[in-house]
């Protein structure tokens, strides 16, 4: 759709940003209102040969001749290897230079040396594949490739094999009422650059020569059809595929936010901007905890009462972040759709879903996919309307302050609970007990297990024109119940060791008794200040 509905022929190099956006929005509205995609069908029919898995220009592949031209002599597909294909005892045997179907399927990703004991398919079917499955896995393989294969193309200079573009980002997309609505919400048309998917190159070798230069694609269709491997699929006399794969160079992902719209970003030292990626320990972290990465929020400061117990909590203050992190391109596009007069009526008061789906790669050298992440949160599109971000009074402030304020309170509750759990663990297991970290992690995990559904429900029901004070109190009450249950559970399970406590020295040199009552009283004091 990005290719067929590109505005490259409707704008000129001299047009400014406002003119380009106007052309993009008018084009988008026309497509949305017609509820048709005739141009897409016409393009597919016109380029039908480009989507054939076989023939002289196989889809997402190279021919045997092209493959042999790309790889070193000892990696080429020769008569001996073709004979070995037919002589395989079964389809799980990998011929030299190939990857098996079970490794090619990203839900299995099983190498010949390391069996996947908990695979989604039985041993009998791991290496079976239909043509339609092959097409889908071919696309997925190019996006989530890993680095387990040994063959690379010939090149004058050494290069790092691409792990697949999707492995290098934290991909998100918007979900609408149906498939058409979803496609349209993610159809970001405000780029005047020529859209050129990989299959429009005259020859795969021409495209691969461009990859050798490490030039970044300047358009979204080329980026999302980017090849990480030169793949050649040979078929033996029994109809069994053998997948030859050669690594291709990867281009740099730094400072690429003007092209890549479907990920959040992080700023490193020297102002280098890279796509966000999920670490293994973040795969149990709900997406709502990263809302600030997708909807720009003001900075909020809240007193928890520990610095000066004689003073009441000050009114939250806002300040600009120290560093500017680029916004998610998709969210900027949705904001434009919601606020521009051309399209605002379509998104007004519309419930949108932001979905985050990705594969987790192994921390081993092969980097194969080992798990998947799938989470989302719903929100009212009216949250994207610009508001007075300088206000710090919920009664007269803006909805983004409400969200930032809520996330900051949750962060402080997390910290207070984790500290209390640490103190209880030390009473229970000793100051350096082996189970201390496990106990703290279990308590924090329990907090979020109880909070995840409640927060998503609370967030999706926010009405930017409603009573924000009442909405804030609603979440505070949820947090009070969770923290009350945390205290009650610990009181009930307290041992005599925790009740009697131990003598500790404070920072000012005083000797005091620390027991479960003093620990939870301190916790309770913080919670009252945080949630008042």
Tens-place pLDDT, residues 285-295: 999 999 999 99
Contact (CB, 8 A) for 453 and 497: no
The CA–CA distances, whole Å, from 357 to 334, 396, 435, 496 equal 19, 37, 33, 47
Flag whether 415 is in a domain.
yes
What's the pTM?
0.89
The CA–CA distances, whole Å, from 152 to 207, 230, 438, 471 equal 16, 9, 44, 57
pLDDT at residue 391 in the model = 52
Question: Is the pLDDT reported for residue 22 higher than 80?
Answer: yes
pLDDT at residue 147 in the model = 84
Contact (CB, 8 A) for 245 and 138: no
Flag whether 498 is in a domain.
yes
Question: CA–CA separation, 106 vs 166, rounded Å?
Answer: 13
pLDDT at residue 314 in the model = 41
SS (H, E, C) 225-255: CCCCEEEEEEECCCCCEEEEEEECECCCCCC
Strands 229-235 and 241-247 come out as antiparallel
Flag whether 294 is in a domain.
no
- Which CATH number fits the domain that encloses residue 463? 1.10.132.100
pLDDT range class, residue 322, cuts 50, 70, 90? very low
Question: What value does the mean pLDDT of the chain take?
Answer: 89
Question: CA–CA separation, 420 vs 484, rounded Å?
Answer: 13
Q: Which residue has the higher pLDDT, 338 or 91?
A: 338
Flag whether 493 is in a domain.
yes
Comparing C-alpha atoms, which of 273, 275, 328 is closest to residue 297? 328
Name every residue whose Cβ is closer than 8 Å to that of residue 28 and which is 6 or more positions away in sequence.
Answer: 5, 184, 187, 189, 337, 343
Mean pLDDT, range 248-256, rounded to an integer? 95
Comparing C-alpha atoms, which of 162, 180, 104 is closest to residue 137? 104
Phi, psi dihedrals of residue 171, rounded to the nearest 5°: -70, 135
Flag whether 453 is in a domain.
yes
The tokens for 17 are 């940003």
Strands 98-99 and 511-514 come out as unpaired
Burial profile 317-328: b = 16 or more Cβ within 10 angstroms, e = fewer: ebeeeeeebbbb
Flag whether 354 is in a domain.
no
| Burial (CB count <10 Å: 0-12, 13-18, 19+), residue 496 | exposed
Flag whether 81 is in a domain.
no
| Burial (CB count <10 Å: 0-12, 13-18, 19+), residue 69 | middle
Flag whether 440 is in a domain.
yes
pLDDT per residue as tens digits for the range 345-390: 999 999 999 999 998 888 777 788 888 899 999 999 999 988 755 5
pLDDT at residue 427 in the model = 94
Phi, psi dihedrals of residue 333, rounded to the nearest 5°: -65, -45
pLDDT range class, residue 310, cuts 50, 70, 90? very low
Q: Residue 513's beta-bridge partner residues?
A: 503
pLDDT range class, residue 238, cuts 50, 70, 90? confident
Question: Is the pLDDT reported for residue 313 higher than 70?
Answer: no
| Burial (CB count <10 Å: 0-12, 13-18, 19+), residue 1 | middle
Supply the range of the domain harboring residue 521.
394-531
Q: How many domains does the chain fold into?
A: 1
Mean pLDDT, range 122-135, rounded to an integer? 86
Phi, psi dihedrals of residue 27, rounded to the nearest 5°: -65, -45
């Amino acid at each position: 759709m990005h290719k067929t509905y590109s505005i490259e022929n409707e704008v000129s190099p001299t047009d400014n940003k406002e003119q380009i956006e106007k052309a993009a929005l008018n084009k988008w509205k026309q497509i949305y209102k017609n509820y048709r995609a005739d141009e897409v069908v016409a393009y597919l029919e016109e380029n039908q040969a480009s989507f054939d898995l076989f023939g002289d220009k196989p889809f997402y592949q190279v021919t045997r001749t092209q493959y042999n031209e790309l790889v070193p002599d000892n990696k080429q597909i020769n008569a001996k290897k073709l004979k070995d294909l037919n002589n395989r005892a079964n389809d799980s045997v990998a011929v030299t230079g190939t990857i098996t179907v079970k490794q090619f399927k990203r839900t299995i990703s099983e190498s010949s040396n390391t069996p996947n004991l908990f695979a989604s398919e039985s041993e009998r079917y791991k290496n079976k594949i239909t043509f339609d499955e092959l097409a889908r896995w071919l696309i997925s393989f190019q996006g989530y490739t890993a680095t387990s294969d040994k063959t690379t193309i010939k090149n004058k200079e050494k290069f790092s094999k691409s792990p697949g573009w999707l492995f290098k980002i934290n991909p998100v997309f918007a979900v609408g009422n149906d498939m058409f609505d979803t496609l349209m919400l993610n159809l970001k048309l405000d780029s005047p650059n020529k859209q050129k998917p990989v299959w429009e190159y005259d020859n795969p070798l021409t495209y691969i020569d461009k990859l050798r230069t490490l030039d970044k694609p300047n358009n979204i269709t080329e980026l999302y059809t980017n090849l990480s491997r030169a793949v050649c699929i040979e078929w033996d006399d029994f109809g069994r595929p053998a997948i030859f794969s050669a690594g291709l160079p990867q281009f740099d992902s730094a400072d690429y936010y003007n092209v890549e719209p479907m990920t959040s970003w992080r700023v490193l030292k020297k102002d280098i901007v890279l796509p966000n990626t999920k670490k293994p320990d973040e795969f149990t972290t709900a997406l709502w905890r990263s809302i600030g990465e997708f909807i720009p929020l003001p900075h909020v400061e809240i007193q928890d009462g520990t610095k000066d117990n004689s003073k009441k909590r000050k009114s939250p203050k806002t300040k600009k972040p120290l560093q500017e992190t680029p916004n998610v391109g998709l969210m900027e596009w949705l904001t434009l759709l919601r606020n521009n007069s051309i399209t605002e009526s379509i998104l007004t008061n519309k419930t949108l879903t932001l979905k985050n789906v990705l594969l987790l790669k192994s921390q081993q050298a092969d980097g194969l996919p080992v798990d998947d992440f799938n989470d989302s949160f719903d929100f009212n599109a009216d949250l994207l309307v610009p508001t007075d971000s300088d206000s710090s009074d919920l009664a007269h402030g803006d909805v983004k302050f409400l969200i930032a304020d809520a996330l900051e309170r949750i962060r402080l509750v997390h910290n207070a609970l984790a500290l209390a759990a640490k103190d209880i663990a030390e009473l229970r297991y000793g100051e350096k007990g082996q189970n201390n970290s496990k106990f703290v992690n279990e308590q924090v995990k329990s907090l979020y297990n109880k909070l995840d559904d409640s927060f998503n429900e609370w967030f999706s029901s926010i009405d930017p024109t409603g009573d924000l004070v009442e909405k804030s109190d609603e979440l505070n009450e949820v947090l009070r119940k969770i923290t009350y249950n945390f205290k009650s559970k610990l009181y009930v399970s307290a041992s005599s060791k925790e009740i009697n406590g131990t003598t500790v020295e404070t920072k000012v040199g005083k000797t005091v008794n620390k027991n479960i009552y003093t620990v939870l009283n301190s916790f309770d004091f913080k919670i009252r200040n945080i949630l008042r």
